[in-house]
Structure formats: C-alpha cells, structure tokens
Amino acid sequence: MFYDLSNFLGSLHPLVVHLPIGFVLLTMIFEFSANSKNTIQNRMISLGWLFTFISSLIASLFGWFLGDNGYYFESQIDIHRWSGILFVVICFLVWVYKSSNLPPNTFLSRFRNVIVITLLTVTGHYGGSMTHGEDYLTENLPEIIKEKLGDDYEEISTISSRSIDSLFVYEDLIHPFLEDKCMVCHNDENTSGGLNMTVFELLVKGGENETGITKRNAYKSSIFNRVVMSQRNEKFMPPTGIPLSFDQTKILEWWIEEGAKLEQPITSFREDAKIQKLLLHLYEVDIREKPFLETLVLEDLSENDLIYLENENFEFRFLSNKNTVLDLKFIGEDITKENLKSLDKIKEHVVWLSIIDSNLSDDEMAYLPNLKNLTRLKIQKNFISNKGVPYLEGLDNLSELNLYGTRITDASFEVFSKMKGLKKVFLWKTQVTKKGVAQFAAQYPNIEVMVGY
C-alpha cells in the first residue's frame, strides 16, 4: 500500500518541482525592487521564502520516492538529490532570517542569491538530464552552433580501424553497448534485480528471477527479451534513458541464436547478408570476404620504379585506386633475363602477369617464383616444357595459369596438383593427353582444366 502510494507521489515529482522554482524567482524579484523599510513588503518577502521552502520540501520528498524505485542511475541521482536538499535547507534558513527582525545585509543577500540560483540550475539540469536524456539542452540547437561547440556527442566506434579477423562479437560489438546502456545499474555494487552484467558468467546466469541467456533461444533470454518488449511494459530495459537501437537488438539476437559464445569471431557472420549490411551501417565494418588483392598491404610504387618497368618493356596498369598492385604485360618481342630481373624490385606488387608469345624459356621461368602474390599468370604461346613448370610450384596464391600453346605434357599435372591456390589451368594446344586430363580432373575436381573444344 505504502509502496503504491509512494510510487504515485514519486511520479508527481516532475510536476511539483516547478512550484518552488516559480516562488523563489518571484520572491527574489520582489526583494530586489522592494524598499527595505516597508514592513508590508518585508512580510510579503518572508512569506515568499516560506512558500518556497514548503513547496520545495514537498517536491524533494516526492523526488525521494521517485529515486527509490531503482529506475535511475545512482550517479545522476546523487547530485540532483543532494543539491535539491541543500536548496530546501537554504530556503528554510532564509525564511528564519527574514522573519526574525534582524537588519538586512545587502552583501549577504547577494551572496545568498548566487548560491540559490546555482543550486537551482544544478538541480534542475540533473533532473532534466534524467528525464529527457543527457543532451536534451543541446540537441535542438541550430546546426551551426552545434558545430561550433564541437559535436562530440556522437559516439565514434574505433573498431572499424582494426583488422576484422581480430574482432569478437561479444567483446567488440555487444559488450560496449551493454556497458553503455545497462551496466550503470547492473554492476558489482549495484546489482538491480540481482543481475550483474559486468561478469560474463553472471550475465549468462541472469538475476534473481530470470535466466540471463538461454543459448540459441533469444526470447528465453531475459537480456534480450527485456530490451525488445513493449516500451510501456514496466519491465522494459533500460527503464530510463535511450533504449537499444534496432540494430543492436538484432546483433544481440543473432549472437544468442548462434550459441552466445564469448569467443565468437565477427567473421563467422560472413554468410549472413543482412548482418553484413548491419555491421557496415552501424560500425563501418565490412566483414565480407575480401578479394585477395584488397588484403595486400604494400608500399606505394615510386615513379622511378614504374619508369624502370616501362624501359624494360613492361606495360603496367594498377588494379586498385592505390598505386600498389599491378597488372603487368610484357610488350616486347623477345623477353630477356634482364627484363625479368627488373621484376625483382616490385616482386610483391605484381598480381597479374602476362608474358604471351615472347619466347619465354624454361630457364627464364626461374625468375617467376619470387612473385609470391601472383594470382593470374598468362605465359601461353612460349617455348615452355615440363622443365619450366616446377618453378611455379611455390606460387600459393596463383589461381589462374595459362599455358596454352606450350610444349608441356601430362608430367606437369604432378606440379599442378601441388599448387595450393590453383583453380584454373589452360592447356589447349599442348601435348597433354585426353587420358591425363581425365585422370587429373577425377583426382582434383576443384581445378578446372581447359583443353579446347
């Protein structure tokens, strides 16, 4: 009974608080313009302070009830609560002073006014922040002024600058927003509802009444259930402040449905197009599998390197908007060792390479194994035989190899089978046999062999 009544009175607090504010301001204006010898005026003023005192006493009593229901952040309540109480005390003292017939003291009353106004502002501001949110004052400012103030209320996520392979769903995505929105009330000291969310195991366990997380069942997990129920429901979490965003609840749901593992890496969401979009949108994290090219981190090539390449009869083209990865094409008639040696300087930068119909010999192939990042190699129509092919064995990233119009035979299949990244090999117009191809295809179905129509 008392609990219900106090709850009701507590909810009247935001209404009642405006009364003492009005009284105190009016009284101070009177006092300012009053003639100190006029007794009637003096009585009015001391009456004003009395009203202020009484109304603020009621307001703070109601406020105490409201603060007691546990739905506000202790840290915010503290300042609001004690500055409010100080205000009540000061009003009382002023009233006592005014109603005794002590002589007025201008200095004292000025000093007192400053303190009263300061307390009023502080109390009012913290009260306002609790009901309307932290930035209730600035949020509707014209944009220009906001910019001048420095718009620092926008949370900047730092995870977008990290390598996606090092990110974990709970630690990097979920924990930060739970910390932000829930842990003020659910921590080691303040375990509202018996729930401590700062320790992962306790978070999973839950509070006094409900299970925190039921693996693979979001709606049986109070952590999730409480944030997606109707906001009018008194169990809705967080009880005050800004609720979780749609995206945040989605991530929470996905993670729980995936088994709520502490060590779940972000990249395990790769298959899910929806969550990919969401992460991109929310954190600017792109978890899509990157083409090999984009994963390469290389130094920019200098103008000199490129001029040098051109002098060695290589035509180049960048394969991204950075001056790093190269598509190289030999445009001379007859390639030499010197031409090939020039590749050494940029060996990591060459990703595609064409040396077509340029008299590339088996021996000259010896320069190719250095080009570790090659993914596409076109060396068709050259005098290459089985002797040259083994040089390619260590090119783990090579996925496309064009050897059509060379003199290789079935013996080279052995080398192809050892090339880790190989997906396609072009062997039209070589000396490989139908039987050899069929055997290889049966053994290595993931490598496509093209021998012509």
Candidates 73, 200, 292, 383: give the one binding ligand HEC (CB under 6 A). Answer: 73
The H or E element containing residue 448 is: strand 448-450
Query: How many binding residues for ligand HEC (CB under 6 A)?
Result: 28
Q: What angle do CA 173, 176, 179 make, to 5 degrees?
A: 145
Strand spans (E) along 255-349: 314-318, 326-330
CA 100 to chain centre: 62
Among another protein, ligand HEC, none, partner that 205 touches (CB below 5 to 8 angstroms by kind):
none
Catalog residues that contact another protein under the rule CB under 8 A.
291, 293-294, 303, 306, 315-323, 325, 327, 329, 331, 376, 378, 380, 400, 402, 404, 424, 426, 428, 450-453
Of 81-89, 237-245, 256-264, 420-428, the window that binds ligand HEC (rule: CB under 6 A) is 237-245
Nearer to another protein, 151 or 310 (CB): 310
Q: Is 226 in the site for ligand HEC (CB under 6 A)?
A: yes
Q: Is 332 in the site for ligand HEC (CB under 6 A)?
A: no
Q: What distance in Å separates the CA atoms of residue 176 and residue 156, rounded to the nearest whole number?
A: 12
Strand spans (E) along 232-370: 314-318, 326-330, 350-354
CA-closest candidate to residue 387, choices 426, 360, 353, 423: 360
Among ligand HEC, another protein, none, partner that 237 touches (CB below 5 to 8 angstroms by kind):
ligand HEC
Candidates 20, 63, 84, 238: give the one binding ligand HEC (CB under 6 A). Answer: 238
- Distance of closest approach, residue 452 Cβ to another protein, in angstroms: 4
Binders of ligand HEC among residues 89 to 128 (CB under 6 A) are none
Q: What distance in Å separates the CA atoms of residue 202 and residue 195, rounded to the nearest whole number?
A: 7
Amino acid code (one letter) for 45: I
DSSP state of 192: G
- Distance of closest approach, residue 429 Cβ to another protein, in angstroms: 8
Nearer to ligand HEC, 84 or 206 (CB): 206
List of residues 6+ apart from 224 with CB closer than 8 A: 213, 218, 249, 252, 253, 256
DSSP state of 219: G
Q: What distance in Å separates the CA atoms of residue 373 and residue 397, rounded to the nearest whole number?
A: 6
Q: Is 71 in the site for ligand HEC (CB under 6 A)?
A: yes
Candidates 167, 244, 326, 377: give the one binding ligand HEC (CB under 6 A). Answer: 244
CA 186 to chain centre: 22
Among another protein, ligand HEC, none, partner that 73 touches (CB below 5 to 8 angstroms by kind):
ligand HEC
Residues that bind ligand HEC (CB under 6 A): 70-73, 181-182, 184-186, 192-195, 206-210, 222-223, 226-227, 235, 237-240, 244
